[in-house]
Amino acid sequence: MALKLQAFCQLLVDYVSTGHFEIFEQLAGEGKAFSDRDGLKEGADLMEKIQPSTELILDFNDKYLATDDLEALSLDLSNIGEALAQRFESEDTMIAVLHDAHLEQLI
pLDDT in tens, 19-75: 989 999 999 999 999 999 999 999 999 999 999 999 999 999 999 998 888 999 999
Cα angle for residues 30, 44, 17 (degrees, 5° grid):
75
d(C-alpha 3, C-alpha 78), whole Å = 20
The answer to whether the CB of 8 falls within 8 A of the CB of 75 is no
- The predicted structure's pLDDT at residue 107: 65
